A and B are shown apart, each in its own frame.
Chain A
């Protein structure tokens, strides 16, 4: 294990009383693997990263990176890690090259080596043409790439990526995923946080789902999906009035309670023997003269996993994370009250969330 954390705890004081950003979180990351911390806003993801990167001290618990205690020897830890945060932490007034050279110098590579490394990274991230322009004029994706390059100046033993693609447009996101995939193919240990389920699915070997400062599930993407059973059958009705009938038919052949979308036209249920169940449902629906827009099977997504594990959907509306903030908490509390409603989210909603 190159990262080993036990019982990490952090409590912030807020106007509405103490907020437990982390409530005894354990984390193990084997050398050379990619682990994703997946969770909604305010789950504590950023707090974990800040602790492991020596930016904040845990109230309780220990964390060791490559055998070095982060609280006792922060400087030694900083020599072996690279960090790329949520907000591209680059100086707008400096050029891409100057930013990276500065980081290299502050890693104590020395001037010539820092300059050399900055050039290498600029070329590597295909920013050669923009390398001598102030970052001020860069696009969001270019800034992220500079920031990511900054985390790679020393070829870190552990790379921390805190929501690396938050706020990027889909194209830049996919481009950045490719960059990260190349890095991890080389065997760097990566701990990444994300609120995008697809991102965890794409990049990570292992996923740790956290909520309310605790680990609530852990495993590969496939293992997590297996937790909520096999396939799911989804039907879209032409007429919402058929909702009751459709629900009944799906319940008959499915395993578990079907969920109906808020508009009453999407019905979904988990099934054990997918193809057979689907065939049976379709023939029963036809017999009951229920008209369908669409019908099909789908593999469970991580959204389903999250819904099942936490009772609420992953909150994907906000674009930034506030680990300790009061508003987030109340938002989450509300989300939990809406649990019943969320449990009946339509397949369309779930797909949208992806």
Chain B
């Protein structure tokens, strides 16, 4: 007895009442062949538009996710407000900054910290997708190999942009001011977002390499706290003990903060440390971003091509 014809009636109670029809755009079926829909209409797509379309499709998925997970939005909105208020009001009176007030000094540091922390979403999301098997679904589709990562890091970029706007509004409310031209201001914002974007790829690789999504949070904090706190983000680096000062001066986050202070006109009159990275912060940050992207984008794509749930 063939199991296909075995017993139970298939009508009435079955969820499916008819067999699936081929999708509209596909070539019409050859006579006698009931199953169609093999090759999609590739000719209308060139490699770039495929890459763009796949990347956008996954980006959209992540944007919907942001919209539908209030906790993520709250984190992205409340945390920056909290940091701005806490640091400016709590430390503002205690930390003296030469030629400036602490709020002016602080804001670039908070911007930098926020974009760096924002990158952890990519790490956590990749780890979660891997665990839940969605990565397997994506990898079994004929899509561009980088699309999931592009969509993921784009999602971070959007979230970081939202955070940035909120933080700036909060900063303005507590007395922070931009003292430069709109062009320089935009360059500063661009630098922050680009740095965060590049760092998202670093975290995405980490997210694909850990065994569970829980690990990623701990792992990222181990990286992010030293990176953001042992820097010039919250205190002038010259106040630090020698070992930490050297780390802070060569820390890419310090260069980012320095570059943003310069572009926003929040430097004050304090002397800039006589270190190349601090003397040329914008160039340093641009080099840093380029190196991160050149190294981690290929590593991520390679890693993605070999991962599968568990």
Q: Taking beta carbons and an 8 Å cutoff, which residues of A are in contact with B?
A: 34, 50, 53-57, 75-76, 78-81, 83, 85-94, 98, 102-110, 113, 116-117, 120-121, 124-126, 134, 145, 147, 150, 152-157, 174-175, 178-179, 181-188, 201-205, 220-222, 322
User: A155 to B15, Cβ gap below 8 A?
Assistant: no
List the B side residues contacting A126 at CB < 8 Å: 15-17
Q: Does B137 contact A89, Cβ atoms closer than 8 Å?
A: yes
**20 CB-based A-B contacts, threshold 8 Å:** A34-B4, A86-B133, A89-B134, A93-B64, A93-B68, A102-B58, A106-B142, A107-B40, A108-B40, A109-B25, A113-B23, A116-B24, A126-B15, A155-B20, A155-B35, A157-B35, A202-B6, A203-B3, A220-B2, A322-B310
Interface residues of B in 257-300 (CB under 8 A from A): none
Interface of B is mostly: loop
Bound CA–CA A155/B40 (angstroms): 11
Q: Which residues of the other chain, A, contact B38 by a CB distance below 8 angstroms?
A: 79-80, 154, 157
Give A178's nearest chain B residue, CB to CB. Answer: B14
Binary CB contact string for chain B from 1 to 41 against chain A (1 if under 8 A, 0 otherwise): 11110101010011111111111111000000011111111
Q: Is B65 an interface residue (CB 8 A)?
A: yes
The answer to whether B53 and A53 have CB atoms under 8 Å apart is: no
Report the count of interface residues on B (CB-CB < 8 A).
59
Are A201 and B3 closer than 8 Å at their CB atoms?
Answer: yes
Known: A87-B309, A89-B136. 12 other contacts (CB 8 A): A83-B140, A87-B132, A91-B134, A102-B58, A103-B137, A105-B57, A107-B141, A126-B15, A126-B16, A134-B68, A174-B8, A202-B6
Cross-chain contact B20 with A103 (CB below 8 angstroms):
no
Closest to A76 in B: B142
Query: Inside 8 A of A34's CB, which chain B residues have their CB?
Result: 4
A181→B4 contact, CB < 8 A:
yes
Give the CA-CA distance A174 to B14 in the complex, in Å: 9
Task: Give chain B nearest CB distance to A209 CB in angstroms.
Answer: 15
**A155 with B141, Cβ < 8 A, contacts A50-B308, A87-B133, A202-B6 known:** no
Would A178 and B134 be within 8 Å (CB), given that A75-B142, A87-B309, A94-B61 are in contact? Answer: no
Residues of the A chain whose Cβ atoms lie less than 8 Å from the Cβ of B37: 154-156
How far is A75 from B42 in the complex, measured between Cα atoms in Å? 13
Q: By the criterion CB–CB under 8 Å, are B35 and A187 in contact?
A: yes
The reply to whether A93 and B69 contact each other, CB–CB distance below 8 Å, is yes
Asked if B143 is at the interface (CB within 8 A of a chain A CB), the reply is yes
Chain A residues, Cβ within 8 Å of B64: 93-94, 98
Of B6, B26, B132, B137, most buried by chain A (CB within 10 Å of CB) is B137
Q: Which residues of A have CB within 8 Å of B48? A: none
Which residue of chain B lies nearest to A113 when distances are taken between CB atoms in the complex? Answer: B25
- Give, as a whole number of angstroms, the nearest-CB distance from B28 to chain A: 12
Contact at A54–B137, with CB atoms within 8 Å? no
Which of B4, B39, B136 meets A184, CB within 8 Å?
B4
Q: Does B166 contact A (CB under 8 A)?
A: no
In the bound complex, do residue B22 and residue A91 qualify as a contact, i.e. CB atoms below 8 Å apart?
Answer: no
Instruction: Tell me whether B177 is interfacial, beta carbon within 8 Å.
Output: no
Point out the residues of chain A lying under 8 angstroms from B26, CB to CB. 109, 154-155
Complex-state Cα separation, A53 to B41, whole angstroms: 21
Quick check: is B54 within 8 A (CB to CB) of the other chain? yes
* Residues A152 and B20 in contact in the complex (CB < 8 Å), given A87-B309, A102-B57, A110-B25: yes
- State in angstroms the CA–CA spacing of A85 and B133 once bound together: 8
Q: Are B141 and A78 in contact (CB under 8 A)?
A: yes
Residue from B44, B50, B61 whose CB has the most chain A CB atoms within 10 Å? B61
Which one, B13, B18, B141, B306, contacts A124 given CB within 8 A? B18
* Interface check B250, CB cutoff 8 A: no
A313–B24 CA distance with the chains assembled, in angstroms: 48
Q: Distance (Å) between the CB of A302 and the closest chain B CB?
A: 11
Find chain B residues with CB under 8 A from A157 CB. Answer: 35, 38
The answer to the question of B139 belonging to the interface, with a C-beta cut-off of 8 Å to chain A, is yes
A55 touches B54 (CB 8 A): no
Do B23 and A117 touch across chains, with their CB atoms under 8 A apart?
yes
A306 to B248, CA, bound (A): 65
The closest CB in chain B to the CB of A108 belongs to B40
In the complex, which residues of chain B have a beta carbon less than 8 angstroms from the beta carbon of A105? Answer: 53-54, 57
Q: Is the CB of B16 within 8 A of A124?
A: yes
Tell me the smallest distance from the CB of B274 to a CB of chain A, in Å. 50
Most buried by B among A56, A105, A145: A105
Q: A94-B64, A183-B19 are in contact. Are A108 and B45 (CB under 8 A)?
A: yes
**A residues less than 8 Å from B23 (CB atoms):** 104, 109, 113, 116-117, 120, 153-155
Of chain B, the residue at the smallest CB distance from A86 is B133
B138 within 8 A of A: yes
B16 and A125 within 8 A (CB): yes
Q: Which residues of B contact A178 (CB under 8 A)?
A: 8, 10, 13-16
Q: Is the CB of A179 within 8 A of B16?
A: yes
Which residue from chain B places its CB closest to the CB of A141 in the assembled complex?
B15
* Contact partners of A110 in chain B: CB under 8 A: 25, 41, 44
